[in-house]
Structure 1
Amino acid sequence: MRKVLSLILFIIIFNGLQAQDGASTDLPQDTTYWDSEFSIGFNFNQASFSGNWKAGGVNSIAFGSIATGKANYAKDKFSWDNQLELIYGVVKNEGQEFRKSNDRIFLDSKIGYKINDKWGYFSSLNFITQFTDGFDFSGPENRLISGFFAPAFLTTGFGLEYKPNSDFALRLAPLSPRFTFVSNSAISDNIPGNYGVPIGQNIRTEWLAFQLFATYNKKISENLSINSRYQLFANYETLAFKTIDHRLDFTVIAKITKYVDVTFTSINVYDIDMDPGIQFSQALALGILYKVSNKK
């Protein structure tokens, strides 16, 4: 565990020093080298029916939230990109307790050094987990199947990045150690594979691995934007078609007015250590979105 924490600390410090080195060539620092943005949105839905409503229905309330942020630095050949994404939602149907409808924590930090206009070297660190416990409600008893840091995935990457324009980026990391955490040992009782972590342990380390990480973020028009992210992870030691992990995250935001928007989010995962099938979730919401940026 100490080795893992030391590696994480080294990568964070290395990324920070590299960005600082690129930023300190001219003093005082020019903040125009930064491109930063933060947005936060909330949505609320409610439905109620009288006891004699013949069309049928269930009284319910639902609440959702999304917060995204970025802070990207670029000067000369150096760049430092940081992205944060937080999503959470709950729903309550009459006769049931509150249940989650969405839950995601994602953080990505990347240092880059340009070789030419389209290619560059990079080192990166990304982290994925969730806020609260997840349950399987299909049986007579609610079974705990996930939680905060259970699982959590910390993936590093060292390799080449292809970035032909501002919308698309592709990272190829032939060296990409990953650490999988399961902080609650009770989860192994309900998830036989324990998310790939050996039973009785809280962490699995995959030192020899490959990662492909692609992003496509496009502002289609003034009122419509698409953000997508695809990750492929392959452990060299267990390499086979069925053991390659895939994850696709997709968000579409359509603005109706300055502060009112429609947001569609989707998560699609294939990871044999979680489940032999493809997992997916999606949510569509109408709500309020507020955004601030350092760009006019």
Structure 2
Amino acid sequence: MFFSKKKFIAVLSFSALLSIGTYAQGVSDSVSQVATDTTYWTKEFSAGLNFNQGAFSSNWSAGGVNSVALGAILKGKANYLKGKWSWDNQMEMLYGMVKNEGEDGRKSNDRIFLDSKVGYSLSEHWGAYFSANFLSQFANGYNYDEDPRTLISGFMSPGYLTTSLGFEYKPNEEFVLRIGPFSPRWTFVTDLSIADNIEENYGVPVGEKVRTEWLALQLYAEWDKDINENFNILSRYQMYANYETLSFKKIDHRLDVTLTAKITEIISVTFTSINLYDYDQDPGIQYSQGLALGLLYKVSNKKE
């Protein structure tokens, strides 16, 4: 099922509040000054929509299943830089559905990622920072191997809010590495019924809705590169290690990769991939990928 309007509004509201709160931590400019100093802002926004469909006659000898698939992606950045202070904001939202004849609609992609960071330059390539990022999904997820299907995830089930204080290395505008030796994280599972189907309950104690990890290290690396005017690579790696339960198998790793190739001004091919290792979810490596052809709209005031 598609996500509800209330959930979508809640996510956007959270993003706005998070960005405003983080900005107030370090930037001395007043709100009115920031609003008027538009020359200090670099903004990007892109929206994509893809559609796939297959149909077969009832006597098609090779066999086949009628199907319809729809996907959408929204990406945005708004970065502020003045003197030694910077404020970087990022949003990435993906959702996809597939409907095979004779089956209920099932989601094929579902991601909410929001990130906001205030930084202060210490040298040409190094700086101090405070950041907060949020990761969750829009809609319920199910295990279809069981009959009837069982609920295994949903909006804020799980949801991750991670704050981080540390140092960042930024040799150019395409790459950034954050090293956060103090990175508290809150893991949410607001639907208590999920514990009935997921034994690990995403690391949250059964019967509770939040798990707090105060003492932890976070590494965050991002490479956002325009190979040329028609091809972009966005790669994001996150590592999280709780000092209190530190062991090799308890360190979380997540790698997100998005490749976008423009065929024409409005038609593009998008490849998305997620590689995830989280012992609190599953002792093995999780992987998902998608490839889609669709429409893409992009605007930016970035200087080439």
TM-score normalised by the chain length of structure 1: 0.93
Distance across 2 between alignment mates of 1:34 and 1:9: 17
Which amino acid counterpart does residue 210 of structure 1 have in structure 2?
L
**Equivalence map 1:277-292=2 (5 Å):** 277-292=284-299
Distance across 2 between alignment mates of 1:254 and 1:179: 36
Distance across 2 between alignment mates of 1:28 and 1:61: 44
Q: What is the deviation of 1:55?
A: 1.6
Structure 2 match to 1:208: 215
Which amino acid counterpart does residue 144 of structure 1 have in structure 2?
L
What is the aligned-residue identity percentage? 59
Partner deviation per Cα, 1:44-91 (whole Å, 9 max, x = no partner) = 110000111112111000000000011000011100000000000000
**Equivalence map 1:271-282=2 (5 Å):** 271-282=278-289
- Change over 3 Å in CA distance of 1:279–1:260 after alignment to 2: same
Structure 2 match to 1:56: 63
Q: In the alignment, is residue 247 of structure 1 matched against residue 254 of structure 2?
A: yes
Verify the 8 A CA contact 1:39 1:292 in the aligned structure 2: yes
Q: In the alignment, is residue 174 of structure 1 matched against residue 189 of structure 2?
A: no
Structure 1 match to 2:90: 83
Please give the secondary structure, in 1, of the residue aligned with 2:28: helix
**Runs of 4+ residues deviating >6 angstroms:** 8-11, 23-28
Verify the 8 A CA contact 2:88 2:117 in the aligned structure 1: yes
Structure 1 match to 2:171: 164
- Change over 3 Å in CA distance of 1:47–1:68 after alignment to 2: same
Which deviates the most, 135-144 or 62-71? 135-144
Distance across 1 between alignment mates of 2:215 and 2:287: 28
Q: What is the deviation of 1:215?
A: 0.2
Verify the 8 A CA contact 1:39 1:289 in the aligned structure 2: yes
Distance across 1 between alignment mates of 2:165 and 2:37: 28
The alignment yields a C-alpha RMSD, in angstroms, of 2.0
Please give the secondary structure, in 1, of the residue aligned with 2:206: coil
Which amino acid counterpart does residue 118 of structure 2 have in structure 1?
I
| Structure 1: runs of 5 or more not aligned | 1-7
Task: Select the residue among 120, 139, 152 that pairs with 2:146.
Answer: 139
Structure 1 match to 2:11: none
Distance across 2 between alignment mates of 1:183 and 1:250: 28
Structure 1 match to 2:3: none
Q: In the alignment, is residue 151 of structure 1 matched against residue 146 of structure 2?
A: no
- Change over 3 Å in CA distance of 1:196–1:164 after alignment to 2: same
Which amino acid counterpart does residue 93 of structure 2 have in structure 1?
L
Q: What is the deviation of 1:9?
A: 11
Verify the 8 A CA contact 1:245 1:272 in the aligned structure 2: yes
Aligned residues: 289
Distance across 1 between alignment mates of 2:147 and 2:296: 39
Distance across 2 between alignment mates of 1:278 and 1:37: 33
Which amino acid counterpart does residue 187 of structure 1 have in structure 2?
I
Q: What is the deviation of 1:12?
A: 5.4
- Change over 3 Å in CA distance of 1:11–1:251 after alignment to 2: closer
Structure 1 match to 2:232: 225
Verify the 8 A CA contact 2:22 2:132 in the aligned structure 1: no
Which amino acid counterpart does residue 69 of structure 1 have in structure 2?
G
- Change over 3 Å in CA distance of 1:91–1:162 after alignment to 2: same
Partner deviation per Cα, 1:87-123 (whole Å, 9 max, x = no partner) = 0000001110100000000000000000011000000
Distance across 2 between alignment mates of 1:226 and 1:110: 21
Distance across 2 between alignment mates of 1:107 and 1:69: 10
Which amino acid counterpart does residue 293 of structure 2 have in structure 1?
L
TM-score normalised by the chain length of structure 2: 0.91
Structure 2 match to 1:3: none
Structure 2 match to 1:42: 49
- Change over 3 Å in CA distance of 1:216–1:28 after alignment to 2: closer
| Structure 2: runs of 5 or more not aligned | 1-14
